[in-house]
Structure 1
């Protein structure tokens, strides 16, 4: 997820400034005092669409946050859906910071990363989101500068270029079952017993459900939490393998 850092550090040399937004307003951060409390950060800007926009901003619900998160594009929404399933993700902030970067020719460039994620032991990761086919030379320069700046303050940095259409559709499907229903705990034991059988498949769950729906919906829910494992990079059918993995939420 990234690297934790509790001690004060010197002001980064590869970035002119980091500007965060809090309830009281925006503030250029003094890194000699240590890192900010990321749980109190607010988005440095709210994405808006116009007739020239390439993307349509969305307000998505995040299970991690227990509420909405404002995102700039559908690709960012894809990433949030993936992160929402990760038990190590404890907090998220979109559009978390305004960086003023110093480019190779000495000029300043403003860059706003797409997401900040808090993980175990206060580990922080900054994410930039851009389709792989649109990661041009300017993006690559921003990426390298941002990664170096994050490294200097003990934070991680990652780029999300999107997953396969099959994985995107599968994760979207599972998201519809992320809310725990009253019958899931009772159905879970029966579900896991089937998943522990050698060569267990989705079809075995469908057959055991006998049309009642409780076992099938529980299967999708626990596939979302990670308690049972299904290969989300392949189309899901009756012959798809399923097995017990771990309890995550």
Structure 2
């Protein structure tokens, strides 16, 4: 395996889809100029294809952050996409944002990271999703090269696997209520008042009105950050402690 550490940033090039003369086409930018491109808003450089017998499960996720569909190529990627959508630190993101190319052993290698995210502080984050036990030597080399490129570009880089099971289950449930149509303003106001101090979720819902009618708003508020709860320690239930966080995302 070739060692990518210390590779010159000049050796990296990014290929992405951008508009030129009113049409979408492949464009090229050197790593040194990568910040001139808003990769969080580009179209995917790869198609999310499906076919009989396929091992992975591609699809499209409606993002409450982007107010648009964002693609994924596996359940693992879907869960990480869900995490990006949920995070208050992420302001925008895209999937398969660019091809990263670099010379190696007389050839040109390329790799398309899974996600690019723009953080609230303006910095960039590049994410590859792959479990530890599913990384071949060539994959490891591509991830290492991507990490080197991101470091040179001033972006953070993460190669991540599965989301914690409890957190993933809770976010999957809450994500069903991520669309704004699930928020009733009157219920939201009553819930914020009922949870001004830490209180059980069901108690807050009952205080705010008809619990069955109020809960969709509560779940939306938990997703959007207007209600806070520990979603990592135990499955979400009526006894989960919630607290109002004021205005949400």
User: Which TM-score band applies after superposition, normalised by the shorter structure?
Assistant: 0.7 to 0.9
Structure with bigger strand share is 2
Could you tell me how far apart the structure 2 residues matched to 1:82 and 1:182 are? 20
Aligned 8 A contact 2:118 2:125 in 1: yes
Q: How far, CA to CA, are the matches of 1:31 and 1:214 in structure 2?
A: 51
> Which residue in 2 is equivalent to 1:241?
241
Q: Decide whether the 8 Å contact of 2:182 with 2:217 is kept in 1.
A: no
Q: Which position in structure 2 is the counterpart of 1:196? A: 196
2: CA distance, partners of 1:40 / 1:225:
21
Q: Tell me which residue corresponds to 2:59.
A: 58
Aligned equivalent of 1:5: none
* Regions of 4+ moved over 6 Å: none
Aligned length: 237
**Residue 17 (structure 1) aligned to one of 10, 13, 21:** 13
CA contact (8 A) 2:13 2:28 kept: yes
Judge which range, 162-171 or 31-40, deviates more.
Answer: 31-40
Partner SS, residue 218 of structure 1: helix
CA distance in 2, matches of 1:175, 1:22: 30
SS class of match (1:213): helix
Question: RMSD of the alignment, in Å?
Answer: 2.7
Alignment of 1:78-227 (within 5 A): 78-102=79-103, 108-181=108-181, 184-198=184-198, 200-208=199-207, 211-227=210-226
Q: Distance in 2 between matches of 1:92 and 1:243?
A: 28
Q: Secondary structure at the match of 1:56?
A: coil
Query: What is aligned with 2:29?
Result: 29
Quick check: 1:12–1:153 contact (8 Å CA) kept in 2?
no
Deviation (angstroms), 1:223: 0.4
Q: Please tell me whether the aligned partners of residues 228 and 244 of structure 1 are also in contact (alpha carbons under 8 angstroms).
A: yes
Give the deviation of 1:146 after TM superposition: 0.6
Normalised by the length of structure 1, the TM-score is 0.82
**Cα distance change of structure 1 residues 39 and 232 upon mapping to structure 2, 3 Å threshold:** closer
